[in-house]
Structure 1
Amino acid sequence: MDVNDKKDLCSPCEFKSKTEIATKWCIECKEPLCVSCNENHSAHRSSRNHHVISIEGNKMLESLQIPLNEYCEVHDQEKDLFCTSHSEVICLTCTQTTHGKCEPAVRLSDVTKSAKTSTFVSMIDTKIVDVVDELRDIIRDRENNKVEIEKQKTEILDTVKNYRKCINDKLDQVENIITEDLNEKCESSNLEIDNNVKFLNDHLNKFDEIRKKMDILKEYASDTQTFIGTRALEKTLHYNESMLTSFLELIQNINIDIEKNRGQYPIDHRLKLSKALEIKIPQESFFKSTILSCIILPNKQMIFVDSHARNKRLIVLNEDGTHDRNINLTSKPFDIAVIDNNKIALSFPWNTHKRIGIINMTNNKSEPDIFFKNKCYGISYDKDRLFVVVKTEGILIMDLSGKLSACLPIEGIGIFYVHVKNDRLYCSDECNDTVQCYDMQGCSIWTFKDSNLGSPRSISSDDKFILIAGCKTNNVVSLYLNGSFASVICDTDDGIIIPTSLYFDSDNLLV
């Protein structure tokens, strides 16, 4: 019989040489009991209060692998006392030996009374629950970390794709430049070779002519005539030989090549910005502000154009976002442009007299207005030239006195904003969701259209990027100077909602 099977036999029955399967286990007696013996055990006065559990329960207690022995292994006595100094269950002899100097021991029965509902057991239960919950949170956090890693992987791969596209665009640009360069060099070299061949053919004809003249002299002339004629031809021959010799000294093989550093173009990285300041526009009336344009002055003050019909004002804020002052206007403004450290220009398309106003910010005084027949909307100032979007006319270029220098036929129902920098003119068409680039003669260079940009409004730029406010797409999009898409630099996640105006001064983006 297996040892484990023997342990499941009733101990009292086994003592009587009987074989009965045990179903219960008495913890105090430490022996298995069958059904019959358990009934007798429960009825006997000395054992009726013993703690009896199922055989399976006892096996589970044994599987815990924690000390539950109620007998002292040193003194072979029942552990019925509790040492409060060491929080240890001991026997009577232990109090006289190893625990002789401890605080007086208390009865174990007093300490263990209602142990399952004691504060200590509850505290342990709570601690276990807390630890389990914390571990589950940690496991959940680690699983979330895996998800985040996958997300980061996707973002990195997207970034790599953007870099790849940027590199490909640059390579295409370099290839086009090299191709144009080679075409020019080939054309120039071929022209030079053609001129050389023409010169040589001309001299070949001259030498053929001399040879023919010599043949005529030899056949028909007298000796005297031959002598005189040969002397004359010899001078012509010598002259042409000298010319040919000098020319041949200059002739050499023509090779074409490209400059080794011609293809070394920098790859523009994506423009990255972080929020530095969130500004709340001060409301000084019942009517909410309608901001259609904004700028940053050289002194870092910010100006917002409030175009609400009841407000009609400029809101001037300091660099830290605090309110400096308001400048009240007589009519609704639309756009604003920086002229210099002290002056700004404003467009008034809805006034009876459509005009551009110049204001000195140091004293708030206005200079003579520039008047237009039709509505004037977007304005930009660059290299002492004022660029104005005038409906049904195009984009007018003039000085601050209003003297017109050019009228570019750039017009559209959705074109309201214009931006000029480094002899490039950019305008947005909010009806067609496009951004267009022109040279100073009004010739189109490129047109940008992408699902990332809807209802484009205000435009700004630096030496590397063009920034556009996407009113419908609730974002700000950056383009490279060649018109290719760079990135969405901020959107609703950054608090951008229906942006109409922006201004970029290389250090700060005001939206």
Structure 2
Amino acid sequence: MSISVASSNAKQSTALFELEEAIDRTLLNVKECKTNRETAIKEIEKQECEVRKMIFETRKKVNLHLNKLEKKLLNELRSSSRTWKSKHMEIIQWLESTEEMIAKLSEQTLHMKQLSSDIQVFLGTRQVHQVITSKMESIKREIGDAKDYEMKLCINSMIKQLPNELETLGEIKVTDCNAKLDFRDPKIGQAQTRIISDTKLQVIKTFQTCRRSGPCGISSCVILPNGHLLTSQYTWDICLVEHSDTGEYIRDVPIPVFKKPYDIAVIDRNRIAVTYGEPEFLEIMNLKTCKIERRVELKDYCWGVCHENGRLYVRSGNSTMQVINLSGGKRKTFQIESNDVRDITTSRDRLYYTDNEKVYCCRLNGDKLWQFPLEGRSIEDLCSIAVDIDNNVYVLCDESNNLTYIHHNGRDSRLLLTEYDGLLEPHSLYYDREKNTMRICNRHGLVWLYNVV
């Protein structure tokens, strides 16, 4: 076979497609590993802040305790000082009184000596002598009982030992474990890619999320980082609804603006992005506080939204995809193949979107990769789209009541579910890539949970 024959249609060959897949996977592996290590650095910085805070808190507690001990000891010192000073003051006051009395006796004796007769002096001397003798005995007794006090401090032995025994306030301990870095070999990845004819869905369970009769108007569903299911109801209930992974109702998440929520994208553990259809903006909401952190004006209807690597991809405008950098960079736009797109999703370096006729796959800058026709669809079909870890695509159509599986090459497909499998009025689809499970919600709030095998 000549090289010209062998190389015919090389640009559309499987070998070239697989080469592109291998290059893309390798680049993504490198980016994911880099992101993982950057996240590890941020985690170390977070841990450093937490340990620093613990050190400060420990020092604060020690200082507070020492302050209490110091205050208690100073109060005891003041009390002891007052007590023993009062003892001395009592003696001083008694001596001052005695001194005053003796001074008067001295004056009386001098007066008697100068003015009295010998008989009077004789008798007076005897009397004063008795008084002074008695007072001298009293002074001797008082002075003999007097005490001197010496206050000293006996430091607690533990405090004394503290400077010598306590060499550190604590110890920084570091444990290590193998990093959860998964560098998947492109060939291994291809070998493990699900074979389209073998792919099956196993029902794990079904549960009801709607708490009223009639359609709930569920337009979107996502899995939160805690494993809970969050649905948007495109109705005037004006709320998102959270359920556990087993179907138990958790709470309503109120929408601060009086608008019907259309689509949801999970940004991180606490934040989501919400679109409202005809209102020309999307909002970033904090799920913990239920408050809007940021509103992004788009100047056109805003339907499907998804998040990938710090960017929001939003279907807004005439055949236009808008790219919003959450870190505040310049907003970008690129043209897409259809103006009737309602649902979009991303997978690493690719963007997928669908109207009621085709499924489209392009790079995150808009460069077209492939498109796949959806045959036999109603013009009224509204389709939801999801992608697994191998870039295989799942398309759910509500009027046709079916789920189509499209191989990542964009050429092969098969029906996975139809109305004969009980699929009625399905409207929203979510693929959990970590657990390899799928959730389908219909208009009436019924949720099917499938295991993809």
User: Scaled by the length of structure 1, what TM-score is found?
Assistant: 0.46
Amino acid at match of 1:173: T
Where does residue 53 of structure 2 map in the other structure? none
1:390 maps to which of 316, 339, 352: 316
The answer as to whether partners of 1:453 and 1:477 remain within 8 angstroms in 2 is no
Which structure 1 segments of 5+ residues have no match? Answer: 1-170, 179-260
The answer as to whether partners of 1:337 and 1:346 remain within 8 angstroms in 2 is yes
1:469 maps to which of 371, 374, 396: 396
- Please tell me whether residue 497 in structure 1 is matched to residue 338 in structure 2: no
Deviation at 1:441, TM superposition (A): 2.5
1:434 maps to which of 355, 358, 362: 358
* Greater Cα radius of gyration, structure 1 or 2: 1
Alignment of 1:217-366 (within 5 A): 265-266=190-191, 268-270=194-196, 271-284=199-212, 288-308=215-235, 310-329=236-255, 330-351=258-279, 354-366=280-292
Amino acid at match of 2:210: P
SS in 2 for 1:327: strand
Alignment of 1:394-405 (within 5 A): 394-400=320-326, 403-405=329-331
In the alignment, the residues of structure 1 paired with residue 189 and residue 283 of structure 2 have an alpha-carbon distance, to the nearest angstrom, of: 46
Where does residue 190 of structure 1 map in the other structure? none
Deviation at 1:460, TM superposition (A): 1.2
Where does residue 56 of structure 1 map in the other structure? none
Where does residue 437 of structure 2 map in the other structure? 508
Give the alignment's Cα RMSD to 1 decimal. Answer: 2.8
The answer as to whether partners of 2:359 and 2:374 remain within 8 angstroms in 1 is no
* Cα offsets for 1:178-233 (capped at 9, x unmatched): 8xxxxxxxxxxxxxxxxxxxxxxxxxxxxxxxxxxxxxxxxxxxxxxxxxxxxxxx
Amino acid at match of 1:413: N
Residue 487 to residue 176, structure 1, CA distance change in 2 (3 Å): closer
In the alignment, the residues of structure 2 paired with residue 386 and residue 486 of structure 1 have an alpha-carbon distance, to the nearest angstrom, of: 29
1:484 maps to which of 406, 411, 420: 411
Amino acid at match of 1:341: R
Deviation at 1:495, TM superposition (A): 2.0
Deviation at 1:447, TM superposition (A): 0.6
- Please tell me whether residue 448 in structure 1 is matched to residue 397 in structure 2: no
SS in 2 for 1:279: strand
In the alignment, the residues of structure 1 paired with residue 189 and residue 278 of structure 2 have an alpha-carbon distance, to the nearest angstrom, of: 50
Moved more, 394-403 or 375-384: 394-403
Residue 173 to residue 316, structure 1, CA distance change in 2 (3 Å): same
Answer 1 or 2: higher relative contact order, Cα 8 Å, separation at least 6. 2
The answer as to whether partners of 2:278 and 2:300 remain within 8 angstroms in 1 is no
In the alignment, the residues of structure 1 paired with residue 320 and residue 358 of structure 2 have an alpha-carbon distance, to the nearest angstrom, of: 17
In the alignment, the residues of structure 1 paired with residue 243 and residue 361 of structure 2 have an alpha-carbon distance, to the nearest angstrom, of: 32
Residue 175 to residue 443, structure 1, CA distance change in 2 (3 Å): closer
Amino acid at match of 1:293: S
Which structure 2 segments of 5+ residues have no match? Answer: 1-11, 20-185, 441-453
SS in 2 for 1:340: coil
SS in 1 for 2:219: strand
Residue 293 to residue 263, structure 1, CA distance change in 2 (3 Å): closer
Identity across aligned pairs (percent)? Answer: 25
In the alignment, the residues of structure 2 paired with residue 435 and residue 324 of structure 1 have an alpha-carbon distance, to the nearest angstrom, of: 35
SS in 1 for 2:15: helix
Residue 360 to residue 264, structure 1, CA distance change in 2 (3 Å): closer
- Please tell me whether residue 408 in structure 1 is matched to residue 249 in structure 2: no
Deviation at 1:262, TM superposition (A): 8.1
Residue 443 to residue 410, structure 1, CA distance change in 2 (3 Å): same
The answer as to whether partners of 1:370 and 1:401 remain within 8 angstroms in 2 is no
Residue 458 to residue 326, structure 1, CA distance change in 2 (3 Å): same
- Please tell me whether residue 173 in structure 1 is matched to residue 173 in structure 2: no
The answer as to whether partners of 2:300 and 2:317 remain within 8 angstroms in 1 is yes
Amino acid at match of 2:272: I
Deviation at 1:451, TM superposition (A): 2.6
* Cα offsets for 1:159-194 (capped at 9, x unmatched): xxxxxxxxxxxx95127768xxxxxxxxxxxxxxxx
- Please tell me whether residue 458 in structure 1 is matched to residue 299 in structure 2: no
Residue 307 to residue 401, structure 1, CA distance change in 2 (3 Å): farther
Deviation at 1:416, TM superposition (A): 1.5
In the alignment, the residues of structure 1 paired with residue 220 and residue 370 of structure 2 have an alpha-carbon distance, to the nearest angstrom, of: 25
1:371 maps to which of 279, 286, 297: 297
Amino acid at match of 2:275: S
The answer as to whether partners of 1:347 and 1:356 remain within 8 angstroms in 2 is yes
In the alignment, the residues of structure 1 paired with residue 244 and residue 231 of structure 2 have an alpha-carbon distance, to the nearest angstrom, of: 12
1:417 maps to which of 335, 340, 343: 343
SS in 1 for 2:202: coil
In the alignment, the residues of structure 1 paired with residue 403 and residue 335 of structure 2 have an alpha-carbon distance, to the nearest angstrom, of: 28
User: Scaled by the length of structure 2, what TM-score is found?
Assistant: 0.52
Aligned length: 254
In the alignment, the residues of structure 2 paired with residue 264 and residue 399 of structure 1 have an alpha-carbon distance, to the nearest angstrom, of: 30
Deviation at 1:402, TM superposition (A): 6.2
Amino acid at match of 1:282: C
In the alignment, the residues of structure 2 paired with residue 296 and residue 496 of structure 1 have an alpha-carbon distance, to the nearest angstrom, of: 21
In the alignment, the residues of structure 1 paired with residue 187 and residue 346 of structure 2 have an alpha-carbon distance, to the nearest angstrom, of: 28
